[in-house]
């Protein structure tokens, strides 16, 4: 009889520990989810800010450079740039499309160089 009570008490303790652990794990998951959501909102706000500061695409009737971009995620897309536009405009355009320089590289196709590092002039 005493042994049965001890076994029952042990089961109750184990069940309480299991429930407490599940609760801690759920709280961790919720905290991580909130953190990810906040980061995504900040990333989207930054993208929209960059997009709002981006100069408009020049019309095809003026002298321009047409640059085509390829991405695994988005396939191909292109944009026209004025001859006086800097690489910052190009990088901002890419960031406005969801490709920030902190997370992506810009490579020229020929000669193959990493344009995003700034060492492409050598």
Residue with the larger pLDDT of the pair 32 and 121 = 32
42 located within any domain: yes
Do 1 and 48 belong together in one domain? yes
Residue 75 pLDDT: 84
Residue 119 pLDDT: 54
Query: pTM here?
Result: 0.66
58 located within any domain: no
Query: Which of residues 13, 33, 53 is at a domain's end?
Result: 53
59 located within any domain: no
Half-sphere exposure of 86 (CA within 13 A, CB side): 4
Tell me if 64 sits within 8 A of 80, measured CB to CB: yes
Instruction: Please state the φ and ψ torsions of residue 4, each to the nearest 5 degrees.
Output: -65, -40
Q: Is the pLDDT of residue 121 over 70?
A: no
Q: 101 falls in which pLDDT band (50, 70, 90)? A: confident
Do 4 and 41 belong together in one domain? yes
Query: Which of residues 30, 53, 76 is at a domain's end?
Result: 53
Tokens of 71: 């991405």
Task: Say how many domains are in the chain.
Answer: 2
Residue 120 pLDDT: 46
DSSP string, 53-82: HSPPPPPTTS--EEEEEEETTTEEEEEEE-
pLDDT tens for residues 41-97? 999 999 999 999 999 999 989 999 998 888 887 788 899 999 999 888 988 999 998
Which residues span the domain enclosing 20?
1-53
99 located within any domain: yes
The domain that holds 76 is classified in CATH as 3.10.20.90
Do 47 and 85 belong together in one domain? no
Nearest Cα neighbor of 65 from 88, 82, 52, 44 is: 82
DSSP string, 7-29: HHHHHHHHHHHHHHHHHHHHHHH
């Amino acid at each position: 009889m005493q042994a049965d009570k001890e076994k029952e008490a042990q089961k109750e303790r184990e069940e309480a520990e299991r429930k407490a652990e599940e609760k801690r794990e759920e709280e961790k998951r919720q905290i991580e989810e909130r953190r990810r959501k906040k980061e995504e909102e900040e990333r989207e706000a930054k993208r929209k800010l960059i997009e709002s500061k981006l100069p408009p695409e020049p019309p095809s009737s003026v002298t321009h450079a047409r640059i085509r971009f390829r991405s695994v995620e988005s396939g191909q897309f292109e944009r026209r740039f004025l001859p006086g536009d800097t690489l910052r405009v190009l990088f901002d355009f890419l960031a406005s499309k969801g490709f920030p320089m902190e997370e992506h590289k810009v490579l020229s196709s020929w000669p193959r160089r990493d344009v995003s590092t700034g060492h492409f002039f050598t």
